[in-house]
Structure 1
Amino acid sequence: MELAKSFEPQNIESRWYPFWESQGYFQPSMDLAREAFCIQLPPPNVTGTLHMGHAFNQTIMDGLTRYHRMRGDNTLWLPGTDHAGIATQIVVERKLDAQGVSRHDLGRSAFLEKVWEWKKESGDTITSQMRRMGSSVDWSREYFTMDDKMSTAVIEAFVRLYEEGLIYRGKRLSNWDAKLGTAISDLEVISEEENGHMWHIKYPVVGSDEFITVATTRPETMLGDVAVAIAPDDERFTHLLGKMVELPLTGRQIPVIADEYVDKEFGTGFVKITPAHDFNDYQVGKRHNTQLINVMSLQATILAKAQVFSFDGASLGSVELPAAYAGLTTAQARKAMLADLEAQGLLLDTKPHKLMVPRGDRTGTVIEPLLTDQWFMAMSKADENGQSITDKALEAVHSGEVQFVPGDWVNTYNAWLNNIQDWCISRQLWWGHQIPAWYDEDGQVYVARTEAEAVAKAGGKSVTRDNDVLDTWFSSALVPFSSHGWPNETPDLQAFLPSSVLVTGYDIIFFWVARMIMMTKHFTGKVPFKHVYIHGLVRDAEGNKMSKSEGNVLDPVDLIDGIALEPLLEKRTTGLRRPENAPKVAAKTAKEFPDGIPAYGVDALRFTFASLASLGRSINFDQKRCDGYRNFCNKIWNATRFVMMNVEGKDCGLEDGAELEYSFPDLWIIGRLQEAEAAITHALDTFRFDLAAQAIYEFVWNEYCDWYIELAKVSTQFGTDTQQRAARRTLIRVLETILRLAHPIMPFITEELWQTVAPLAGKKDSDSLMTAKWPVADLSKVNAEANTKVETLKALAFAARNLRGEMGLSPAVKVPMFLEGTPEMAEFAPYLKPLAKLSEVNITATLPAGDAPVAVAASALGTTRMMLVVEVDKAAETARVTKEIGKTTDAREKLVAKLEKPGYTDKAPAHLVEKDRAQLAELDDKLAKLHAQLDKLK
């Protein structure tokens, strides 16, 4: 295969991914005698598109997968997408709204048909984008969390948990999104600081002229107050304990109680307790066994009659609410109630107040804590062995069965589990796994795998299925085993549970990671994965969270293919949280990307992600890194073209018994390759992709390309047959190994080059680099003597180049050099000539007398001196040196003035003062050399 003159990533990417997939290279060998490596893709939402977090996450996962595949492991990267209950239902409802149709017009069955139609048409966007990223997942095993296999597992898990008493139905507080008409999880609630008010309201004390003052940001909820609380040690108000106060606007009386929840130093010292509408109040009410008075409908409007319950969910009847507020929204009720309180002289004060307002991330609706009937999973209920499902999850990590990387995330995991509450697993949606529970006419519940089984349990009575669906995180928690075919005992379940590593961001440790460990341990007795690699979240170059609503998002596909400025501006200014910021966003974007974003290709983007994959919490993505790594791709491409021109059709000494004479540069690069192999392997084994990328970059660019190729030119052009043969063999063999080492991070360019390089290197052990063998380091090949010689050669070359610079020699001018040393130094001469642009190198015991500048080179072999012999135009050189002395003197005087400025060295940061002093020392040294040079010219 002839290589193109330049690296064109789009052409390569479009060719190789279909080839890999069509050849079945992404599928595991299923050879159970081999070490198994399995990794599961955190299933992205079926509604989603590829964002920077996905692209980063998948770079790491694909790198690990390709690495272990090359290691010969039985390797599976299992893909899937999540049905994303709320997000998907919203998308389809919006499409219907545009047609003037609601889901209620269609009915549940017809609506679900529409969802499945949409999924078929539009739901595979993110999987096609994953292919663009080079993700080598086994598409033949791809799952969807609503497909038949996954649904069977969900139903089985629910029924078993119910039969074990770990799932129950109860009336509890939940995060209620009135616009969606469903409970939502904490993950789907975004609390942001907003401007509001704090209202101070008088509650008269019954039987006296005294009143207490309650401060609240939600006066509409006072209709459901059941008590007013003070701190137990608040001596100002202990005389009120046990007394009753009148609840304004309602005609009800409520008691004054004491509870540790109250901070006597905050506010008025009194806290209204509304357990049916506040999570903290719910816990206070539970401790004092109060009633629960629910004053809101599911539409977040005020009821005519409040519903009263006990904490065990029993109905205690109802309470009349003021008719004037019935049917009003919370905002309308607040306005009306404040007006009535003011009219009655009970509104003492209104103060501006900043508060955290919880809103649904999908709707922007204010979330109301609301008392509803929901299904819950018991997190702390012990089994016959005295262990709860939470205990099992804690023990899995404590025992080391599951290990976090970095390890300090264990503290976060433990803290959440040790304070866990029962999990609300039901949602009032239509799209999702419908809860397998049926009710007879008397309201008796029957949990079963099928309706026929429920009817049988009901003794033949007619039953109706529960309308609720399960929280999406419930089915996601089963993924480690349900995706392998559980509850059936399948070969995949045997081979790949537990999986090797979970790669995920720290933001879902609670919602997904912990629950997978719980569920997998409970149902299979195994852990779901051996390692949890927690990476940081991708932010913009300034460390800000990437958000479409803030206009700072980068689309990974745009970085791959490139995008002009105008469409980029349109992308970034559409959907802003504050549309008035569009000009500011546009101006910043135009400044950052004046010519748009160039096409970097997948390999440069992936290498950028790998280089940023440290163990920190934030990954600040700077597009300029992509520029550097695109240049790196070009460097590898051009180096390969050079090597091909020098080895193709020539004897590379690959035959057995070939006579070879390795030079010290050959032995050096072979040894350095072994060290690079060991470093890269260790980095990948420990999930340090940043260190792997660094080791690849430094070895390829700094050592192979910048040094060895230049040194090999000497051997291939001027060496003996055996030396040329050894150099060509080293050039091609090291390059072929480089391509193997870089493949997990840069799959496309390495595959393209390897197909040409491998046959010439005699190393084509596979039809694809994907399945070629991973290099194994042999550190016995590290040659200390060769290393010392190369370091000496580098020191000599640097000294000679510096000397040329001091003398102002043009790169085109070749001059002779005298090198002081022993005859053994002659070994360096052939290499120094091209490296330092020399016409000849003379080894001498003592440098000849003369006015030429002398350089000193310090190396592992000691120090030596060198002199370049060149005809100098004394007048011109004197003028040049004098001018340089003037510039250097001016710079020194400015720096001295800065350091001598009164108070500077005392007040300025120590590191800046130290930097200035170091710079002054450098200028002094430079001036001394310039004056010495000038003296020689006199």
Structure 2
Amino acid sequence: MNRQLSDRYEPESVESKWIQKWEDDKVFQKNPSGRETFSIVIPPPNVTGNLHIGHALEHTIIDIIVRLERKKGKDVVWVPGMDHAGIATQMVVEKELLKEGKKKTDFTRQEFEKKIWEWKEKSGGMITRQQRLLGESVDWSRERFTMDEGLSNAVIKVFKKLYEDGLIYRGERIINWCPVTKTAISDIEVEYKEKQGKLYHIKYPLTSALASGKSIQNLSKEEYIVVATTRPETMFGDVAVCAHPEDTRYSGLKGKFVTLPLVNKEIPVLFDAFVDKEFGSGLVKITPAHDPNDFEAGNRLGLTPLLIMNLDGSLNANAGKYAGMDRFEARKKVVEDLETLGYIEKIENHTHSVGHNQRGGAVIEPLLSTQWFVKIKALAEPAIDVVRSGKIVFQPKMWEKTYFEWMENIKDWCISRQLWWGHRIPAYYAPDGTMVVAESLQEAIQLFSKQGISVKEEEIRQDEDVLDTWFSSGLWPFTVFGWPEKTEDLKKYYPTSILVTGFDIIFFWVARMIMSGLKFMGDVPFKKVLIHGLVRDKDGKKFSKSMGNVIDPLDMMKKYGTDSFRFFLAAVLPEGKDILFDESRLDGYRSFCNKIWNSSRFIFMNLPENFQIKPLNLEQLEETDLWILHEFDKTLQSFERAYADYHFFEMANLIYDFIWGSFCDWYLELSKARVYGNVSESSQENARQVLVNVLTKSLGLLHPFMPFLTEEIHAMLSPDYLSLTALPTAYGISFDHPSVKRMLVVKEIVTKVRNMRAELGVKPEKKCKIILKFNDSALQNTMEKEMKSILQLTKAETIEFLPEYTLNNTDSVGAFSLGEIVLPLEGIFDFEKEKQRLEKEKKQIQGEMEKLESKINNPAFVEKAKPEVVEKEKEKYATWKEKLESINRALEKIET
């Protein structure tokens, strides 16, 4: 077998090679039948999307799980796919048409839909090509799209069933309206931003006071009330003013009316407990058609909503002379007129949260609109029960509380969107307005006929709206397996094993999948929900184009290699918390890849051409061999324990420490003398076999994190795909094995000598003597056998075993578990010069610590800065403190 690795690791060529080979050989379709199943669906990215840092994190986590479960011998299915992303896709295509000087309305609906399908085939799905670059081990033959024929049919069946069960209705409610895209949007598509605005305190005169003929300027404070609002342009939709029932300031206003400024409309003063007594004046205007809380209050109080805005955000005829003005233009004019007429008491600066459409950034308008809704409470109750009973487990468990809080206060779900791209609502209308819900036009004709309505096909009108994309993606875990058909895949792979997703879509996707799964499959859609945090920049800030801190994963993959990037994401991922993206860490993991490559190359270069991998005979192995096997066993045990809790950061750091530390820095160095042939033939052969065996098992553990590098090196050792080999097993070397114990002491001695040299600043080229004071003949024999390697590792000239050695004043002494280590430093170390250097460094460090201490003890900094930033500064302080302690120890040694 050819075991020639190039002299340097070049990720790009290795990655492209294995991406192609895995797909050509259908590696991830080769699942063992009859075994325990493990199934998972991909959170479907938008068809318009590109791989962003959140995708990279989420997909890396899933791929680690999938590759590990495959290695456990399970029948693994990871289903890929994309969401049709109604608003986003329509916006993309409309922008493309604008380049040609055309707009959506230049086409019929059918023509426009055809344009979108053409775009989808040509340009859509860029993200799936990028998923391949990330090394995702999905079964691409199973790829689904939320608008493909099977899923579309399933969506229509679900809508019809929910409608027949009385759970879908058409009615008027407050929704999130985007005046730019001119559609309702879901809650998740509303991004709230803190904005510096104004709080306008407006005088509403008592109608009885105006009846006396007084002007607003001449009214006393008892003759008008003050209402505070951030949106004065909506006042034309006011139908009442409201106070809290327990607010004694306004108890005298019961039964009174006020006159709405500018339009002279009389409205009542009412009382409702939803009013915040502490906000503004303690009085709020009730505008039911333009505020969700006001809408609910209006229903309780029996008020009729008044809509004052058009769908494009301009004011309508109910706004009087302001009709036709854009909402923000109208705000300026209304305020100007109110000030001129004396209705403004004061205007304050006011920071408040304003909803924006994630797609394009337009300010969202709460608007009363006739839409399609799902009665959600009946679906939510069983979905709450399955989590409370433990049938579905959230990890970390703290997210269950978030889930319960939302589900227990859930409101009806607006599912209709005013778009042309999406699943069109299957509601059909006869000329007389009669409506039926049907799976097809032909079925609609039959349903009309049953009602005694004879209607021709061309006379029937289908509802213009389409369904919210979350409606179809909520059915994802079972529709991808062929539902409503009772397929073998559905029987075998549903419920899925686990869902991996971010906390930001628990409400909008996770909850809806649970509700849909229980309703239509009679079972949960998954058994576990693994929640990960968001990726933020190194200062703890969200990634944002406007802030210029966005990270493109593809750039990172190209610069550092995909394996380094994947490993970084796993190694810095705390359980359920956000991770801070520090690019400097990637360079360290690139070095890790190079370390593995170069170590493997060294091993292969020192194997004879006729080398054959053989099972290890533990009885014939030497102490260093048994020690490294034990270290692997210990790593494997901790690795599996960490995986049981999905602690990927712990798994990554365990394998990192073992490969770089125990295997490369220790065993490889200790075995070089044997590999080079300065020992018996059997000792040399055993060293080679152990090196290859442990390398192979290490690659098996590392593979889920670094699939490309590991597959490439493994190909030098076996014709089988590493992706399909079983998870490594333990060697069975216990901690109590005498050889292991002795080697641990040897390692302790070498580490202690290195630390002593480093703390004292003894340069590597200075070969010092080592004197060991202990009484243990077995340990002495071990050290004498490994003498050449130990001298190399400690940069020492000689090692003497002198239990009764008498110390000199130039000796440095350190303790280890079985005795003392003495470094005679006379003639190789300038104590006074080193003392001066350390004193200077100590002064510099103390200065840095004082700066940091002042910062982290400053209440203003701690209160204003993000917790992640404060924590980072504390970590810096701890690092400096540790360094200072090290210097003090070195000075203490020099002075004594």
TM-score > 0.5 by shorter chain: yes
Mapping for residues 146-161 of structure 1, pairs under 5 Å? 146-161=147-162
Distance 1:806 1:422 in 2: 67
Deviation digits for residues 207-228 of structure 1 (CA, Å, limit 9, x no counterpart): 3352222222222212121111
TM-fit CA distance, 1:923? 5.9
User: Which residue type is aligned with residue 643 of structure 1?
Assistant: I
Are 1:836 and 2:786 counterparts? Answer: no
Deviation digits for residues 310-342 of structure 1 (CA, Å, limit 9, x no counterpart): xxxxxxxxxxx52x2232222333344344444
Are 1:777 and 2:730 counterparts? Answer: yes
1:17 to 19, 36, 56: 19
CA contact (8 A) 2:192 2:356 kept: yes
User: Which residue type is aligned with residue 275 of structure 2?
Assistant: V
User: Which residue type is aligned with residue 9 of structure 1?
Assistant: P
| More displaced 10-residue stretch of structure 1: 824-833 or 544-553 | 824-833
Matched residue of 1:26: which SS? helix
Q: Percent identity?
A: 42
Distance 2:209 2:618 in 1: 112
Are 1:271 and 2:284 counterparts? Answer: yes
Distance 1:69 1:92 in 2: 40
User: Which residue type is aligned with residue 47 of structure 1?
Assistant: T
CA contact (8 A) 2:28 2:137 kept: yes
TM-fit CA distance, 1:182? 0.8
Distance 1:629 1:615 in 2: 21
Mapping for residues 758-837 of structure 1, pairs under 5 Å? 758=718, 767-777=720-730, 779=732, 781-801=734-754, 811=764, 818-820=771-773, 821-824=775-778, 825-831=780-786, 832-837=790-795
Distance 1:453 1:429 in 2: 24
Mapping for residues 72-91 of structure 1, pairs under 5 Å? 72-91=73-92
**What residue in structure 1 maps to residue 398 of structure 2?**
408
User: Which residue type is aligned with residue 722 of structure 2?
Assistant: L
CA contact (8 A) 1:672 1:782 kept: no
Distance 1:498 1:786 in 2: 49
CA contact (8 A) 1:44 1:80 kept: yes
Matched residue of 2:621: which SS? coil
Mapping for residues 519-598 of structure 1, pairs under 5 Å? 519-561=516-558
Matched residue of 1:169: which SS? strand
Are 1:440 and 2:430 counterparts? Answer: yes
Change (3 A) 1:430 1:925: closer
Distance 1:896 1:393 in 2: 57
TM-fit CA distance, 1:913? 11
Mapping for residues 452-531 of structure 1, pairs under 5 Å? 452-459=442-449, 460-461=454-455, 462-531=459-528
Matched residue of 1:693: which SS? helix
**What residue in structure 2 maps to residue 334 of structure 1?**
331
Distance 1:6 1:713 in 2: 21
TM-fit CA distance, 1:776? 2.6
**What residue in structure 2 maps to residue 309 of structure 1?**
none
**What residue in structure 1 maps to residue 371 of structure 2?**
374
| More displaced 10-residue stretch of structure 1: 44-53 or 718-727 | 718-727
TM-fit CA distance, 1:289? 1.2
Are 1:261 and 2:274 counterparts? Answer: yes
Change (3 A) 1:134 1:823: same
Unaligned runs of 5+ in 1: 307-320, 381-387, 562-598, 759-763, 933-938
CA contact (8 A) 1:678 1:776 kept: no
Deviation digits for residues 118-147 of structure 1 (CA, Å, limit 9, x no counterpart): 111110210000000001111101011111
Mapping for residues 117-266 of structure 1, pairs under 5 Å? 117-208=118-209, 210-266=223-279
Are 1:422 and 2:412 counterparts? Answer: yes
Distance 2:204 2:756 in 1: 89
**What residue in structure 1 maps to residue 359 of structure 2?**
362
Distance 1:912 1:185 in 2: 42
Distance 1:118 1:630 in 2: 38
Distance 1:48 1:896 in 2: 49
CA contact (8 A) 1:203 1:245 kept: yes
CA contact (8 A) 1:436 1:450 kept: yes
User: Which residue type is aligned with residue 141 of structure 1?
Assistant: R
TM-fit CA distance, 1:723? 2.5
| More displaced 10-residue stretch of structure 1: 817-826 or 638-647 | 817-826
Matched residue of 1:296: which SS? coil
TM-fit CA distance, 1:722? 2.9
TM-fit CA distance, 1:201? 2.5
**What residue in structure 1 maps to residue 668 of structure 2?**
709
CA contact (8 A) 2:203 2:226 kept: yes
User: Which residue type is aligned with residue 797 of structure 1?
Assistant: V
Are 1:695 and 2:654 counterparts? Answer: yes
Distance 1:9 1:110 in 2: 45
**What residue in structure 2 maps to residue 858 of structure 1?**
816
CA contact (8 A) 2:613 2:692 kept: no
1:757 to 698, 712, 717: 717
CA contact (8 A) 2:735 2:741 kept: no
| More displaced 10-residue stretch of structure 1: 818-827 or 722-731 | 818-827
Distance 1:601 1:918 in 2: 33
TM-fit CA distance, 1:366? 2.2
User: Which residue type is aligned with residue 607 of structure 1?
Assistant: F
Are 1:600 and 2:600 counterparts? Answer: no
CA contact (8 A) 2:772 2:819 kept: no
User: Which residue type is aligned with residue 828 of structure 1?
Assistant: M
TM-fit CA distance, 1:675? 1.5
Change (3 A) 1:843 1:205: closer
CA contact (8 A) 1:670 1:782 kept: no
Deviation digits for residues 536-572 of structure 1 (CA, Å, limit 9, x no counterpart): 10111111111122210111111111xxxxxxxxxxx
Deviation digits for residues 580-612 of structure 1 (CA, Å, limit 9, x no counterpart): xxxxxxxxxxxxxxxxxxx21110000001101
TM-fit CA distance, 1:806? 8.7
**What residue in structure 2 maps to residue 56 of structure 1?**
57
User: Which residue type is aligned with residue 431 of structure 1?
Assistant: W
Matched residue of 1:777: which SS? coil
Give the superposed CA RMSD.
Answer: 3.0
TM-fit CA distance, 1:102? 1.1
**What residue in structure 2 maps to residue 591 of structure 1?**
none
Are 1:116 and 2:76 counterparts? Answer: no
CA contact (8 A) 1:295 1:303 kept: yes
Deviation digits for residues 247-305 of structure 1 (CA, Å, limit 9, x no counterpart): 2333432111111112223212221111011111111101111111112222222222x
Matched residue of 1:501: which SS? strand
| More displaced 10-residue stretch of structure 1: 777-786 or 137-146 | 777-786
User: Which residue type is aligned with residue 786 of structure 1?
Assistant: S
Are 1:105 and 2:106 counterparts? Answer: yes
Change (3 A) 1:419 1:645: same
Matched residue of 1:65: which SS? helix
Distance 1:187 1:225 in 2: 28
Matched residue of 1:373: which SS? strand
Distance 2:503 2:310 in 1: 36
Mapping for residues 575-654 of structure 1, pairs under 5 Å? 599-649=559-609, 654=614
Distance 2:251 2:46 in 1: 54
Change (3 A) 1:835 1:437: same
Distance 1:173 1:341 in 2: 28
Change (3 A) 1:896 1:270: closer
CA contact (8 A) 1:822 1:843 kept: no
1:683 to 636, 639, 642: 642
Matched residue of 1:168: which SS? strand
User: Which residue type is aligned with residue 184 of structure 1?
Assistant: I
Matched residue of 1:256: which SS? strand
**What residue in structure 1 maps to residue 868 of structure 2?**
none
CA contact (8 A) 1:52 1:554 kept: yes
Determine which structure has greater relative contact order: mean sequence separation of CA pairs < 8 Å that are 6+ residues apart, divided by chain length: 2
Matched residue of 1:404: which SS? strand
CA contact (8 A) 1:714 1:830 kept: no
TM-fit CA distance, 1:898? 13
Question: How does the TM-score come out when normalised to structure 1?
Answer: 0.85
CA contact (8 A) 2:812 2:893 kept: no
Figure out how many residues of one structure are paired with residues of the other and give that number.
851
2:833 to 878, 883, 903: 883
User: Which residue type is aligned with residue 276 of structure 2?
Assistant: D
